Structure 1
Amino acid sequence: MAQELSNSGLKVVLLESGGLERQSDIDALDDIENVGRPRAKDQWSVRNRILGGSSHTWGGRCAGFDAIDFEERAWVPFSGWPIGMPEIIPYLDRSADHLGLAVGSGFSDQRFWDIANKKPPGTDVDPQFLLPFFWQFSRDDAESYPFEYMRFGRHLPARLGASITLVTGATVQRIVANEAASAVRGLEFSTLDGRKHMLAAAAIALCAGGIENARILLNSKKGARAALGNDRDQVGRYLMDHLRGSTAFFKLAGSEAVQRRFGRYNVKGRFFRAGLRLSPDIQRREALLNCAAWLGEDIAPDDPWDALRRFAGRSPRLPRDAISLIVNSGLIIRGARDYFGARNGVPRKLENLTLECMCEQVPDADSRVTLSDRRDRLGMRLPKVDWRSHPDEARTLHRMAELVAAELARLGLPEPTLAEWVRDRAEIPPSFVDVAHPTGTTRMSSDPGKGVVDANCEVHGVRGLFVSGSSVFPTAGHCNPTQMIVAMAVRLADHLKARMTRSVPAKVTANAG
């Protein structure tokens, strides 16, 4: 958003809680009180409080949502977006420059083969059950390693126009509104020395993630009034993430065909990954949630491509890396042929090959973020997270694994062995923790009684207060949210440029405290 608003004539202050480098005392501000389903214990693995946010630890995987994700589905309570897929596609296209993608849309279905200039397989999965799906991986062309993902914080200061002021070490604690709580006046933030500051602003956009967006709003409370934007008790509700993990296992011996079919492709200097998703037809017939599957690879410690990368970076682990290159020279030769000839990704040396599935969640008002009685070092109440899962999610994952196994067998490809919990139709294992995709806590809705923001991401009833990020998504889809987050941020930036017809200077004052 800051880059999109550069040189727009608007004066923008970008407040970042972290700094340019990771700091332990700032990491501690991400603590949570968890009272629900098990979550990742190391918050840095899922939430990065640093300039550039969680792009410091993300896996680079990008895709837009499916058309069905925007629909109101009778079998998915509280589903349906107030905007549709056609409105999002232009912003997905514009997200490509920010994310380092070859193309921004139209690459996740059969159109991939035209983009790749490759002939599609002669036989494919039955479309009444499954559809092919492709993910594209972000790339930062400015980095020396050719397939480094975009880490937004590395280049951001140089890409901001003169009208953008970046302030690091500034943790927003609450939004300040007028007496009627009908419009924003500014916000209060703290610096690491504990001092509080006020920033006056005509418009505010919260871009702090699915946990913190809700936390800041819930903390924006004056006296006996409801928290800002929470007159209808919607802030923090409908917390979703993605349930992701292994549903089946392949024997490594003889798995080359399935690895080639559902492996990586090198297209226009970008990696794409092939997988499968549930067809809309079977979702409707069997009342299933949206779900995707791909091959999960556990890389062997002596993988020669990792060794080559360390040699290229002049940090080899000798003599182990040299031995790995000699022992696995055949894999290097085959990889060079695949990379430069077939334009596929290089084959890795594996320890295990699994079928990984990722499923959307049912929007549930009782799956939520509230405020704990515990406080962080700046005095702000911690978020209390009550993340829940549901039987429909387990049922969808069971069915996805069964369908993939059956279709692979029909195509003459190696059939995996279903995980015990899938065969027994058991609950989702506790090992399926959150995967850094907190969604829905400030959901978008045309009805203020069923959401927090409107179709323009403005908080219902509070003029000038906007929210961006996956917290505004009414449903989570099956795919990683980053490209959708960036597309929606570009869309909101356009709305702000159109709406803010004059620049209002920001004023900062410091208070002891």
Structure 2
Amino acid sequence: MLIINLQPTSGETVLPLLRCDVCIVGSGPAGATLARELSHSGISVVLLESGGEQRTPEKDALNEIENVGRPRARDQWSVRNRILGGASHTWGGRCGPFDAIDFEQREWVDHSGWPIAMQELEPYMDRSATHLGLALGSGYSDQRFWSIAERVAPKAEVDANLLLPFFWQFSRDEAESYPFEYMRFGRHIRKHLGPNVTLVTGATVLQVLANDARTSIRGLEFATDDGRKQKLSTAAVVLCAGGIENARILLNSGEPDGPALGNDRDQVGRYLMDHLRGPTAFFSLSDSAALRRRFGRYNVRGRFFRAGLRLSPTIQRRERLLNCAGWLGEVLARDDPWDSLRRLAARKPSLPQDILSVARNVPLLARGAVDYFGSRNGLPRKLRELTLDCMCEQMPDPDSRVSLSQRRDRFGMRLPKVDWRSHPDEARTMHRMAELTAAELARIGFPQPVLADWVRDRAPIPESFVDVAHPTATTRMSCSPEKGVVDVDCQVHGLAGLYVSGSSVFPTAGHCNPTQMIVAMAIRLADHLKDKRHRPLLAEMAHAG
């Protein structure tokens, strides 16, 4: 593998390679997975990353947005990471599969339905486990968890017509000394890439270039940190830069007096969704021990799993609800000893507070060791609040969108203008999720939480529920170009060689964190690009460029 650093400190500002078969834009979970899967394939690959190995204010500034919709995270670093490894720098490691109902065309959810079925993705979910550091890639999120965990399923269970158990699995990077570190793709990217892959950092993609007929791509233009613009000829481009940036790059591509690439039918940037997530009810800490054991973390095969609940398909259909899940939200005390131990282990302590925190909480640490090694549960944390947190899918809305601002970044690229919207069905769904969970927990013998005021009053979702780094659907997959941007192979409709990977191709968002699905879809796309039937086309396009 060749590594080229185009940042000013390297002294290199010219890319010596002018042509490749496939250029991947972005080195986050989608781009890094795709590059790894294409390694040793005989296809020449260039992986372009705007950032470098360290976060910098200059790179952060390139993520600026003009927000004209629902409030979003003020610190864009918390939701978008322009650095080697992309969003894996700040993700929470939580993985899970989508539900079968998420792929259906639901008549009460406008613009719903995927052009592929869940069963088609299961082999790729299994293969995603290696990339994400998971114990297994599928079959763990429902009642099968108890068998996997070698435990007896609880006798008292929620009504399956209302709610269903759900289990999330947390990523683990076994190469890191801290045993609960999530997979950070940038740390290991070099050892996973083959000799056919060239990694280029400090290269900010400005636009994709098409042939005169706008039927295929011929390359792309990027800028180095010193402002120089260069072109790379390639047979195929795969945009893996996230839900905001994928749309932005496409909208900035094409002739100034014509439609943007892939946007002949004005679909690029539309249907922007994220996940609305936050507390919907509050539990008393004093009598929560049994509840926290049942719906807390489990240690299975050296991985943490978290238990929760989701709305059943039955009640979604009956009450015309969106998909939604809930779990115990833990607000840590300031002197939680496990955070102190982590900082001490990483040799980045906050002294003397961390030493005092450990000393004051020896009984909790001892109980944690028993729970982890004996009962095979998660580590008990010292809390100041215990909540019922819910995360709801959004209604697909073509007017919730990313377009272009008149403002430009330092490379002259127009900023994304984000008009993210929320709808009453999302609040109604979260109200019902909280009410049903509270009632069902009480019915099976657990303490009943107190509903949050906004849930009790059937009020709109609080504005404090901002985006959670799950931008979805801005280049959505569809059978028809009138209804989306990419086809079932993630290729932009009508533009041979231009692909998109990541959650921006999801038609709907479901209730689940998207990273495992992102990685699975990237593996699926890699298989498509490696298919021998496409090799001659790639070669022909490369020579025609």
TM class, shorter-chain normalised?
over 0.9
Is 1:500 aligned with 2:508?
Answer: no
Find the partner of 1:51 among 78, 84, 108. 84
- The answer to whether the 8 Å contact 2:246/2:504 transfers is yes
Report the more deviating stretch, 321-330 or 488-497: 321-330
Higher alpha-carbon deviation: 490-499 or 311-320: 311-320
Structure 1 segment 397-408 matched on structure 2, within 5 A: 397-408=430-441
Following superposition, the deviation at residue 323 of structure 1 comes to: 2.7
Shift of 1:506: 7.3
Question: Residues of 2 paired with 1:506 and 1:445: CA distance?
Answer: 27
| Cα distance in 2, alignment partners of residues 315 and 493 from structure 1 | 39
Distance in 2, Cα, partners of 1:384 & 1:20? 28
Tell me the equivalent position of 1:256. Answer: 289
Aligned-partner residue type, residue 292 of structure 2: Q
CA contact (8 A) 2:236 2:498 kept: yes
Are 1:199 and 1:506, in contact at CA under 8 Å, matched by a contact in 2?
A: no
Ranges of 4+ aligned residues in structure 1 off by more than 6 Å? none
Partner of residue 395, structure 2: 362
How far off its partner does 1:310 sit? 2.8
The counterpart of 1:244, out of the listed 253, 277, 281, is 277
Which amino acid is 1:411 matched to?
I
Could you give the per-residue CA deviations for residues 136-158 of structure 1, whole angstroms, max 9, x where no partner exists?
A: 00011111101100000011022
- Superimposed CA distance per residue, residues 78-137 of structure 1 (whole angstroms, 9 cap, x where no aligned partner): 000000001000000000000000000011000111111111111111100000000000
Per-residue deviation, residues 322-352 of structure 1 (Å, max 9, x unmatched): 3323322221121111111110001100011
CA spacing shift, 1:316–1:175, aligned 2, 3 Å? closer
Instruction: Say whether 1:298 aligns with 2:368.
Output: no
What is the rounded CA distance, in whole Å, between the counterparts of 1:127 and 1:171 in structure 2? 49
Cα distance in 1 for partners of 2:347, 2:54 equals 23
- Answering whether residue 503 of structure 2 is matched by residue 463 of structure 1, we say no
Distance 1:283 1:417 in 2: 24
Map of 1:81 onto structure 2: 114
Amino acid at match of 1:496: L
AA aligned opposite 1:383: P
Unpaired runs of 5+ residues, structure 2, are: 1-33
Q: Determine if contact 1:129/1:279 at 8 Å carries over to the other structure.
A: yes
- Which moves more between the two structures, 309-318 or 55-64? 309-318
8 Å CA contact 1:283–1:290 kept in 2: the answer is yes
Structure 2 distance, partners of 1:251, 1:98, is: 39
Measure, in 1, the Cα distance between the counterparts of 2:358 and 2:202: 45
Residue 472 of structure 1 pairs with residue 505 of structure 2: yes
Corresponding position of 1:122 = 155
Which residue in 1 is equivalent to 2:169?
Answer: 136
1:257-289 alpha-carbon deviations (Å, 9 max, x no partner) = 111111000000000000000000000000000
Instruction: Write the mapping of 1:212-291 to structure 2, written as runs, cut at 5 A.
Output: 212-291=245-324
1:491 aligns with 2:494: no
Taking the aligned partners of 1:201 and 1:310, their CA distance within structure 2 comes to 45
Separation in structure 1 between the aligned mates of residue 355 and residue 371 of structure 2, nearest angstrom: 22
Is the Cα contact below 8 Å between 1:244 and 1:357 reproduced in 2? yes
Aligned with 1:165 (options 198, 202, 210): 198
CA distance in 1, matches of 2:235, 2:302: 43
**Residue matched to 1:321:** 354
Cα RMSD over matched residues? 1.3
SS at structure 1 position matched to 2:535: coil
Distance in 1 of aligned mates of 2:197 and 2:350: 43
Structure 1: segments with no counterpart, 5+ residues = none
Shift of 1:411: 1.0
CA distance change for structure 1 residues 268 and 193 in 2, over 3 Å: closer, same or farther? same
TM-score of the pair, normalised by structure 2: 0.92
Contact 2:210 2:254 in 1 (8 A): no
Native 8 Å contact 1:11 1:506 kept in 2: no
- Distance in 2, matches of 1:415 and 1:46, equals 33
Instruction: Indicate the residue corresponding to 2:454 in structure 1.
Output: 421
Q: Letter of the 1:336 partner, please give it.
A: A
TM-score of the pair, normalised by structure 1:
0.97
C-alpha displacement of 1:447: 1.2
1:222-241 deviation per Cα after TM superposition (whole angstroms, max 9, x unaligned): 14221111111100000000
Match of 1:93 in 2: 126
Deviation at 1:312, TM superposition (A): 2.6
The amino acid that maps onto 2:362 is S
Match of 1:384 among 410, 417, 441: 417
